[in-house]
Amino acid sequence: MLELEQDRIPSRIDLLTAWLPRLAIAIVFVGVGWSKFTDPTWVRLFDRIGFGQWFRYLTGAMQIAGGLLSLVPRLAMAGIAMLACTMAGAVIAWFAFGQALGAIIPGALLALLATAGIAEYNRSRGI
């Protein structure tokens, strides 16, 4: 019997490989985004950046929204792209302030987001 891709019922492994990265992304970035509103460390860091506290609020909102969007299958790519932009900005900011070591964590998160984005893109194309 010929099985069409669209007729195929996803296995539990397929569901886990689709949802676990999305769930991890959501947990990490909703938490980090929320901390932008509650942790005084971010106030001092964004003062050093010099864009003002509005930028901290924008970044936090983008991270929360991106994390939540990553849980919606049709919007997961948009959420991952938003989060990748925030991490790319963080890497650039750390380098701009001469703190290359500070760029390690956002750089690693950016690499993980890129990997998740590629996997999500391939999954959406049935690859």
pLDDT of 3-55, one tens digit each?
Answer: 555 666 768 887 788 899 999 999 999 999 999 999 999 999 899 888 889 99
Is 11 a domain residue?
Answer: no
Task: Note the pLDDT tens digit of each residue in 71-127.
Answer: 999 999 999 999 999 999 999 999 998 899 999 999 999 999 999 999 999 988 877
CA–CA gap between residue 93 and residue 99 (Å, rounded): 9
Specify the number of domains making up the chain. 1
Enclosing domain of residue 43: 16-124
Domain presence at residue 6: no
Q: Locate all alpha helices (DSSP H) within the chain, ordered by sequence.
A: 12-38, 40-49, 53-69, 76-96, 104-124
Let me know: does 75 contact 124? Beta carbons within 8 Å.
Answer: no
> Is residue 3 situated within a structural domain?
no
Residue 5 lies in a domain: no
pTM of the prediction?
Answer: 0.86
In a domain, 10, yes or no: no
Quick check: 106 and 90 in contact, CB under 8 A? yes
